[in-house]
Structure 1
């Protein structure tokens, strides 16, 4: 059975659009008979990359001290999950124009030169669907288009460093219902959210059959 690596990074557990949409993707994947490995980076944060984590990657196993062995064991666990996945779905809400620090920490851990990154990329070609929700709109032509550093960062990192194949699902205006100043965008928010669920479901069905 194909395996999905499902990653959520929203700090919100209720009312999170990115969580709702990744859940739709997961439901369709499971309905097609696939299995799931789940990482909730808000509930169980991955530690930021430490000096031990960095240096351990450049030492033979027998030369690592206890701290380096523990740091490398975590990196190996996270990397193995990525390598064994047939597909990945990532919930990535925009925080302050970029990705949550919890997601950045996971990326820093799994970018392992000589294994997942570098001349050979052990997870190359794995499809990744990124659910990139945002409170407003940062689409091309919008007033804040130049402030979009979330999808641009993720696309470059996941493709160029890890060799993954990235598709984006982008629900916008997620703050419209709770911010009175955005009341005029409530309908646009609902339409965007509906389309995100539809796109996520369709992509899950497609990838589960691949």
Structure 2
């Protein structure tokens, strides 16, 4: 049995297609989970909605506590890190992280940045030792995890090598910190043309949903093959 961690970060609460002002990224995460349940009904699904309930931003007390050795922390430090510990434990328990991350002003929503700041933790998801010289950092997250980034944007051509790729700070901004802690197997799918609200948007939605379905089939087959082996 595998564990899937679904993270939604859109400020919109509904799903596009069901609600006039629904979220495209939530539509994709919902589809991924539904398709996964169809292929692997016994797998565990955990949902984290940071769009509705954002993690607290990192504070000076948080930093002080995080860089204090665990055996030397005072009670207030444990309290300052409690939410971060919960998020890190949840991440470490997951085999697949499905992140719905819409584009807000060319980057990720602030709620998802707060999530990243809480899970990139010295001593928990990355190691640090000055004795290592010029490269004192190393990832601590166990190998074998997969990150799926499901996004949506108002304009189009934000993909690699496309017209607006240089203005896309969503996937690169998510992939970099996840790779830093050890998660490098990444898949990207996005809906575009939202601001145009025409047939191109509908075509983009259909293409993205088909891509989600193919990805789930591929990952589920791979999982089944690994289990059989």
Segments of 5+ residues of structure 1 without an aligned counterpart are: 178-185
Q: What secondary structure, in the 3-state scheme, does the structure 2 residue paired with 1:59 have?
A: coil
Q: Match of 1:3?
A: 3
Runs of 4+ in 1 over 4 A off after TM superposition: none
Q: Match of 1:24?
A: 31
How far, CA to CA, are the matches of 2:194 and 2:81 in structure 1? 38
8 Å CA contact 2:147, 2:183 repeated in 1 = no
Q: Match of 2:63?
A: 54
Q: Match of 2:54?
A: 45
Q: What secondary structure, in the 3-state scheme, does the structure 2 residue paired with 1:82 have?
A: helix
The counterpart of 1:84, out of the listed 93, 98, 105, is 93
How far, CA to CA, are the matches of 1:189 and 1:60 in structure 2? 50
How far, CA to CA, are the matches of 1:92 and 1:191 in structure 2? 20
Segments of 5+ residues of structure 2 without an aligned counterpart are: 15-21, 128-137, 224-229
Q: Match of 1:12?
A: 12
Q: Match of 1:193?
A: 205
CA deviations 1:141-182 (Å, max 9, x no partner) are: 32x3321111121122222343331110011112222xxxxx
Equivalenced residues, count: 201
Q: Match of 1:156?
A: 176
CA deviations 1:64-94 (Å, max 9, x no partner) are: 2333111222221111111110101000000
* Aligned-residue RMSD, C-alpha: 1.7
Higher relative contact order (CA 8 A, sep 6+): 1
How far, CA to CA, are the matches of 2:54 and 2:185 in structure 1? 25
Q: Match of 1:205?
A: 217
8 Å CA contact 1:6, 1:39 repeated in 2 = yes
Q: What secondary structure, in the 3-state scheme, does the structure 2 residue paired with 1:90 have?
A: strand
TM-score using structure 2 length? 0.81
8 Å CA contact 1:121, 1:163 repeated in 2 = no
Bigger drift between 97-106 and 72-81 goes to 72-81
How far, CA to CA, are the matches of 1:187 and 1:20 in structure 2? 18
Quickly say closer, same or farther: Cα 1:125–1:66, change in 2 above 3 A: same
How far, CA to CA, are the matches of 2:7 and 2:141 in structure 1? 19
